[in-house]
A and B are shown apart, each in its own frame.
Chain A
Amino acid sequence: MVNSLKQDWFSNIRGDLLSGIVVALALIPEAIAFSIIAGVDPKIGLYASFCIAVIISFVGGRPGMISAATGAMALLMVTLVKEHGLQYLVAATLLTGVFQIAAGYLKLGSLMRFVSRSVVTGFVNALAILIFMAQLPELTNVTWHVYAMTATGLGIIYLFPYVPKVGKLIPSPLVCIISMTAVAMFLNLDIRTVGDMGELPDTLPIFLWPDVPFNLETLMIILPYSAGLAVVGLLESMMTATIVDDLTDTTSDRNRECKGQGIANIGSGLLGGMAGCAMIGQSVINIKSGGRGRLSTFTAGVFLLVMVLVLDEWLVQIPMAALVAVMIMVSIGTFSWTSIRDLKNHPLSTNIVMVVTVVVVVATHNLAFGVLAGVLLASLFFANKVGHYMAVTSELDETTNTRRYTVTGQVFFSSSEKFTASFDFKEAVDNVVIDLSRAHFWDITAVGALDKAVIKFRREGADVEVIGLNEASATIVDRFGVHDKPEAVDQLMGH
């Protein structure tokens, strides 16, 4: 216990401190940009990012992963804020936390095994597209200065690291923000700055209880939002955890992470912030910058708040174009480049799942719907594929006038029609043997199909014998089958 505490927190102090600072720079633009999209002051997002990062560093199940106020979550809050205001958002944030803690105790983290790789890829790509699209309002109906600054900003971000010596020591997003701010102030450009977007934090966050009536009506308002937030938050967190697991070759505790996300969101809500979750882009930046332990997440949160409080006068001067450049970088870095390259190598069904996930998310702005669509589609494709692994062969023994059918493979809802169609009911034989010793019956559809076949043969006057039901099939047949009971015909044929 003590050892793992030490391992989680203090085994990589230098790397964690430095990377935490680098990550904080990428947290600020996202918090500000998505607060604006959610329709609240940047203050709300910045407080939320601070609270979530600090709390999750203690209670999360994945050391080195970065959680804060995210775009994916902010997009779900837009209508709630517009229709009911900030206080309801805070209440929804608290309820989200409760749901997530419950999910942790119910061990729903293990449900991630149903989310296939192509759905994950689709999710990640959709997220990247959403982050990019969220930057578009800052880039429409503006003067050419904004385009020039965004382009220059991106240039600095991607080219500065090639500068010898300092390139790998000073975070290029920082260089981008500072130089763009300096240019804007020096030239006195009339472009939008952070200060124009709403109130920024001026004190430490204070404890707040949402000012909403505690009744059923309130609950009904916030419930759908909280449920959506809880699902999307957990999905993104679980997927990010998997990415961090892969990168660092370590494992995470998913159910602890679920509970941790819940606690962090409750903490954020109590300090007047909005709900958040793990962030794919920022977590990758953290790992790339050498962050591995809990200290990196903690540092990112604390440094973010310190920067915002100490540098608030300068912060308001930052042109939005600089933040847009940083967010475009996050979006590009989040996007899975290999998924495009692999499109031509992967099977069509996989590609369809991925693309459908992306399209549904982009259309609904809700990652949960995209994942749901992706998982459903992937399951259907799978059922279809496995359904092919079923074959029926038959041979006729003329001396006894017996037709012997041998069934091989998987019989279930998707293959039961093919199963039924494999029997020749019109052939007049005295005896029919159905050999199932090499088949697997998976569900009641399969059992029903067998019953129907048996009854049909009986009606044609054949004596039917079913042999070789293996253990797996036997249990299902015993429980649901009707063909060996006297009232079989009436029951199945429905008269």
Chain B
Amino acid sequence: MLRVVACIDGSRAVHAVCDYSAWASRHMEAPLMLLHVLDDERYPSEPDLAGNIGLGSREQLLTELAELDRKRSKLALEHGHHLLDEAEIRVKAAGTNEVVKRQRHGNLSESLVALEKDTRLFVMGLHGESSSDSNVHIGSQLETVIRSVERPILLVPDEYAEPKTAMLAFDGSETAFKGVEMLAASPVLRGIPLHLVMVGADTADNWEQLKKAEAMLSGLDVEITLAIRQGDVEPTLHAYQEEQGIDLLVMGAYGHSRIRQFLVGSTTTTMLKSATKPLVILR
């Protein structure tokens, strides 16, 4: 059975990650996995600049480095256990019972890619561990993760609010239709009213595209609202979101369309930075 994987770390978004993943797990009736990735930098803390090597230097160096890594990994493992235990208590309190806890070594995106096969949805905080303190607003590894993972990702803000309405940004391109297709097949948004929004000219042609997309989504059996707005992609979408009180934004990282540019391209940072509501990234 495909799972929901919640990426647990020491950031301030961790509570929201727990709550949203518990919600997603119940909503999609999928078991939940709490994942902590041990993404430690393995560098010597004290540089030894003596620059000499003697008999057995190589072996001694290997022993020393291995010992150093062992100590660090032990600490990190323990830290991770605590985080996972706390997270487990929280999601169980929220009513999710089918929970497993896992830890993995390696960098975040590689770890997620390795788990991808059995995963329906990844849940992670918009603000990562390292960015919590220093006012950087986007998780340091988010972009790499979005680029490499091929499953939907739910990016959540620091505060939890149960998603009531969702919005899908749509541009009528072939890849956008692929996104609609994926959404139609995915249980992520089951039972949540959806706004299908296009940024562009208010032409019959565009309406036709929207209608076509709506038809594709008819299987979801939810209330679908169609809209076309004019202006620049990013502010227009945000304005619509505010106006309609939408609390879940769905986007596809589509091929090379404008929406992809808008999402993964140079504007990614600004887009994710300004996000105050959870985002679902479809792949």
Listed in ascending order, the chain A residues whose CB lies under 8 Å from chain B are 2-3, 7, 11-12, 14-15, 18-19, 22-23, 25-26, 157-158, 160-161, 167-174, 243, 246-250, 281, 284-285, 287-290, 292, 329-330, 332-338
- Nearest CB to that of B45 among chain A residues? A290
In the complex the two chains form, is B50's CB within 8 Å of A171's CB?
A: yes
Query: Which chain B residues border A335 with CB–CB below 8 Å?
Result: 55
Give the CA-CA distance A161 to B62 in the complex, in Å: 19
Tell me whether A25 and B51 are in contact in the complex, defined as CB-CB below 8 angstroms, given that A243-B58, A333-B58 are known contacts. Answer: yes
Is B218 an interface residue, CB under 8 A from the partner?
no
Is B57 an interface residue, CB under 8 A from the partner?
yes
**Would you mind naming 15 contact pairs between A and B with Cβ atoms under 8 Å apart?**
A2-B143, A11-B43, A168-B47, A171-B49, A172-B51, A173-B52, A248-B42, A284-B57, A289-B47, A289-B50, A333-B53, A333-B57, A333-B58, A337-B55, A337-B56
Query: Which chain B residues border A248 with CB–CB below 8 Å?
Result: 42, 65
- Nearest CB to that of A288 among chain B residues? B61
Give the CA-CA distance A158 to B53 in the complex, in Å: 8
Query: Which chain B residues border A14 with CB–CB below 8 Å?
Result: 47
Query: Which chain A residues border B44 with CB–CB below 8 Å?
Result: 15, 290
Query: Which chain B residues border A250 with CB–CB below 8 Å?
Result: 42
Is B41 an interface residue, CB under 8 A from the partner?
yes
Give the CA-CA distance A334 to B58 in the complex, in Å: 8
Give the CA-CA distance A333 to B46 in the complex, in Å: 21
Tell me whether A337 and B47 are in contact in the complex, defined as CB-CB below 8 angstroms, given that A249-B69, A329-B53, A329-B54 are known contacts. Answer: no
Give the CA-CA distance A7 to B106 in the complex, in Å: 13
Is B144 an interface residue, CB under 8 A from the partner?
yes
- Nearest CB to that of B64 among chain A residues? A288
In the complex the two chains form, is B51's CB within 8 Å of A284's CB?
A: no
Query: Which chain A residues border B131 with CB–CB below 8 Å?
Result: none
Give the CA-CA distance A249 to B64 in the complex, in Å: 12
Tell me whether A336 and B43 are in contact in the complex, defined as CB-CB below 8 angstroms, given that A168-B49, A170-B49 are known contacts. Answer: no
In the complex the two chains form, is B49's CB within 8 Å of A22's CB?
A: yes
Query: Which chain A residues border B61 with CB–CB below 8 Å?
Result: 247, 284, 287-288
Query: Please, what's the 1-or-0 string for B49-87, where 1 marks a CB less than 8 Å from any CB in chain A?
Result: 111111111110110011001000000000000000000
The one of A167, A243, A288, A292 in contact with B43, judged by C-beta atoms closer than 8 angstroms, is A292
Query: Which chain A residues border B48 with CB–CB below 8 Å?
Result: 161, 168, 288-290
Give the CA-CA distance A281 to B58 in the complex, in Å: 9
* Shortest distance between the CB of A18 and any CB in chain B (Å): 6
Tell me whether A337 and B52 are in contact in the complex, defined as CB-CB below 8 angstroms, given that A15-B44, A249-B69, A292-B43 are known contacts. Answer: no
- Nearest CB to that of B41 among chain A residues? A11
Query: Which chain A residues border B69 with CB–CB below 8 Å?
Result: 249
In the complex the two chains form, is A161's CB within 8 Å of B43's CB?
A: no
* Shortest distance between the CB of B93 and any CB in chain A (Å): 36
Query: Which chain B residues border A161 with CB–CB below 8 Å?
Result: 48, 50, 52
The one of B42, B51, B59, B144 in contact with A26, judged by C-beta atoms closer than 8 angstroms, is B51
Give the CA-CA distance A23 to B47 in the complex, in Å: 13
In the complex the two chains form, is A168's CB within 8 Å of B50's CB?
A: yes
Interface of B, secondary structure class, is loop
Give the CA-CA distance A290 to B46 in the complex, in Å: 8
Give the CA-CA distance A171 to B49 in the complex, in Å: 5
Query: Which chain A residues border B42 with CB–CB below 8 Å?
Result: 248-250, 292
Query: Which chain B residues border A334 with CB–CB below 8 Å?
Result: 53
* Shortest distance between the CB of A129 and any CB in chain B (Å): 14
The one of B51, B56, B65, B66 in contact with A171, judged by C-beta atoms closer than 8 angstroms, is B51
- Nearest CB to that of B46 among chain A residues? A168
* Shortest distance between the CB of B135 and any CB in chain A (Å): 20
Give the CA-CA distance A332 to B65 in the complex, in Å: 21
In the complex the two chains form, is A157's CB within 8 Å of B57's CB?
A: no
Given A11-B43, A168-B47: 10 more A-B contacts, CB < 8 Å? A15-B44, A25-B51, A161-B52, A171-B51, A243-B58, A247-B65, A248-B65, A288-B61, A333-B53, A337-B59
In the complex the two chains form, is A160's CB within 8 Å of B50's CB?
A: yes
In the complex the two chains form, is A157's CB within 8 Å of B55's CB?
A: no
Tell me whether A18 and B47 are in contact in the complex, defined as CB-CB below 8 angstroms, given that A248-B42, A287-B61 are known contacts. Answer: yes
In the complex the two chains form, is B43's CB within 8 Å of A330's CB?
A: no
Tell me whether A12 and B43 are in contact in the complex, defined as CB-CB below 8 angstroms, given that A22-B49, A288-B48, A288-B61 are known contacts. Answer: yes
Is B173 an interface residue, CB under 8 A from the partner?
no
* Shortest distance between the CB of A247 and any CB in chain B (Å): 6
- Nearest CB to that of A162 among chain B residues? B50
* Shortest distance between the CB of B145 and any CB in chain A (Å): 9
In the complex the two chains form, is B41's CB within 8 Å of A288's CB?
A: no
Query: Which chain B residues border A158 with CB–CB below 8 Å?
Result: 52, 54
Query: Please, what's the 1-or-0 string for B246-267, where 1 marks a CB less than 8 Å from any CB in chain A?
Result: 0000000000000000000000
In the complex the two chains form, is A338's CB within 8 Å of B41's CB?
A: no
In the complex the two chains form, is B54's CB within 8 Å of A333's CB?
A: yes
Query: Which chain B residues border A289 with CB–CB below 8 Å?
Result: 47-51
Give the CA-CA distance A26 to B50 in the complex, in Å: 12
Tell me whether A336 and B58 are in contact in the complex, defined as CB-CB below 8 angstroms, given that A3-B141, A3-B144 are known contacts. Answer: yes
Give the CA-CA distance A308 to B143 in the complex, in Å: 43
Tell me whether A157 and B49 are in contact in the complex, defined as CB-CB below 8 angstroms, given that A246-B62, A333-B57 are known contacts. Answer: no
A-B pairs with lowest CB-CB distance, top 9: A333-B53, A171-B51, A161-B50, A337-B56, A290-B47, A22-B51, A3-B144, A337-B55, A290-B44
In the complex the two chains form, is B55's CB within 8 Å of A332's CB?
A: yes
Is B109 an interface residue, CB under 8 A from the partner?
yes
In the complex the two chains form, is A18's CB within 8 Å of B53's CB?
A: no
Query: Which chain A residues border B66 with CB–CB below 8 Å?
Result: 249
Give the CA-CA distance A184 to B109 in the complex, in Å: 57
Query: Which chain B residues border A337 with CB–CB below 8 Å?
Result: 55-56, 59
In the complex the two chains form, is A15's CB within 8 Å of B43's CB?
A: yes
The one of B53, B107, B143 in contact with A332, judged by C-beta atoms closer than 8 angstroms, is B53
In the complex the two chains form, is A338's CB within 8 Å of B56's CB?
A: yes
In the complex the two chains form, is B59's CB within 8 Å of A173's CB?
A: no
- Nearest CB to that of A11 among chain B residues? B41
* Shortest distance between the CB of B25 and any CB in chain A (Å): 29
- Nearest CB to that of A161 among chain B residues? B50
Most buried by A among B48, B141, B144: B48
Query: Which chain A residues border B56 with CB–CB below 8 Å?
Result: 337-338
Give the CA-CA distance A299 to B50 in the complex, in Å: 17
Give the CA-CA distance A320 to B51 in the complex, in Å: 19
* Shortest distance between the CB of B67 and any CB in chain A (Å): 12
Most buried by A among B54, B56, B58: B58
* Shortest distance between the CB of A383 and any CB in chain B (Å): 31
* Shortest distance between the CB of A130 and any CB in chain B (Å): 17
* Shortest distance between the CB of B227 and any CB in chain A (Å): 35
Query: Which chain A residues border B53 with CB–CB below 8 Å?
Result: 281, 284-285, 288, 329-330, 332-334
